[in-house]
Structure 1
């Protein structure tokens, strides 16, 4: 009788572990079908990035679950022009699920740190309190992810958000391909 109880406990633990692993790495993520909004905020408004070979995923449980990889044909002059937009030298890409292998957060972060990639605000408040960030490299690769902005940090830690944050009751998040 004791062996059966041990086997049932071990079987349950394995099933729960497998379910937890699936939920964290696969269950909450889905590939984005259709157009992905890849823009760049500049002093004169939004600039649509000439992105090709776009691969993107999003989480249905959090606005921070967005990741994208793409290629672009912008040259160094165009990238320098865009640098007058809103560069983010301390951008911190977040880890993607292991199966989304085009997005290596550590490598992207290292490229931003050493200057071989530049990160920019692509779209403010893509989700409430979350900005879409784009990192562009000189060799034609690009990456996008979401990061909490100041409003998001305040809203999610319980601090009063203030007037500079959008009204949560009327806020409408970015819908992919709407621009």
Structure 2
């Protein structure tokens, strides 16, 4: 009888701990980014090394204070890929990070595949927005654009 009680207690503890971990990873620390906040201001690094504001609309974003890598943003830009390619610095090896499942507009897997195939292009938004972290923007020909934070080479050393 004692074994069943102890086993049941261990199972209940594991279920509660697993549920808590899931909640903490998916929901607890994220907050929406207000369109008027400085975090929502998307800039791109020009080929001359100066940040320039990017024209955006319909911005939707999330962020968390618990990690500099938790920023994700979805928006639309009227800027063409041709103009962006001639004016702004491309980003080498872009790797979008997975967003929480409830943040529907950001699909890291599809964005990553489209970047690899050339269906979208990635640009440096801000170098070292946090120490060792860059903001990257991916843009599609139809104007859809996505932003995220990614570890840079200084953090990987």
Q: TM-score, normalised by structure 2?
A: 0.88
Q: Summarize the Cα distance change of 1:16–1:76 in structure 2 as closer, same or farther, 3 Å threshold.
A: closer
Q: Summarize the Cα distance change of 1:89–1:112 in structure 2 as closer, same or farther, 3 Å threshold.
A: farther
Kindly report which structure 2 residues correspond to 1:4-15, keeping only aligned pairs within 5 A, or say none: 4-15=5-16
Report SS of the residue matched to 2:156.
helix
Q: Does residue 62 in structure 1 map to residue 67 in structure 2?
A: yes
Kindly report which structure 2 residues correspond to 1:1-179, keeping only aligned pairs within 5 A, or say none: 1-2=1-2, 3-33=4-34, 34-35=36-37, 36-44=40-48, 45-82=50-87, 85-154=88-157
Offset of residue 90 of structure 1: 2.2
Report SS of the residue matched to 1:135.
strand
Hey, what's the Cα distance between the residues in 2 that align with 1:111 and 1:89?
14
Offset of residue 89 of structure 1: 4.5
- Paired residues in the alignment total 152
- Higher mean alpha-carbon deviation, 7-16 vs 39-48, is at 7-16
Give structure 2 stretches of 5+ with no counterpart: none
Query: Superposition RMSD on alpha carbons, in Å?
Result: 1.6
Give structure 1 stretches of 5+ with no counterpart: 155-179
Hey, what's the Cα distance between the residues in 2 that align with 1:77 and 1:137?
11
Does structure 2 conserve the Cα–Cα contact (< 8 Å) formed by 1:89 and 1:118?
no
